[in-house]
Structure 1
């Protein structure tokens, strides 16, 4: 398999991982990254954008020859390693814990304001 085919395959795997791990949709890598930009670390996002920039060039026979294949394959590997390390169960658990923490804070703040109001009105 040639390096250009490897790059195309790596781009397809990266898009599939973005769909699976982050739940973003997009027909191309660029569209998927646009939706996942704030969920990725800056370094990983930049490496993925390197892949997205050359996505159209890989199909063109003459432009394909100008690509830096080792750099692109290492970028794809780094992005895929990061995406595979995302634990979906931990993300869900973190979301629920964050929501419950916010709810608990709001209830405590309401109780404190209610007690302050009752003390101000000399009811307690």
Structure 2
């Protein structure tokens, strides 16, 4: 049986982890709007079909009039989010990451 001190310590550790995740951009709400705008294209805005995105560090992300410069900071925020998410498959190749939205049957609940 655990003591109250052990339980409080574990709760404090969990609180710190959750706060760090938010600070590191791992939650959708904490992502910069530019990162959200890019990741929303994993499902085509007009057709709803899944798409493969290639996001390159220090290169602009362009889609239908959208032109977002991918800075080092933005690239790292996107990587942190997709790495922690159950909704994306990704492949990192140097300064580029290939991202695809998983099928609904592949998503872990």
TM range (shorter): under 0.3
Q: Identify the structure with the greater helix proportion.
A: 1
In the superposition, the TM-score normalised over structure 1's length comes to 0.23
Query: Between Structure 1 and Structure 2, whose CA radius of gyration is higher?
Result: 1
Q: Identify the structure with the greater strand proportion.
A: 2
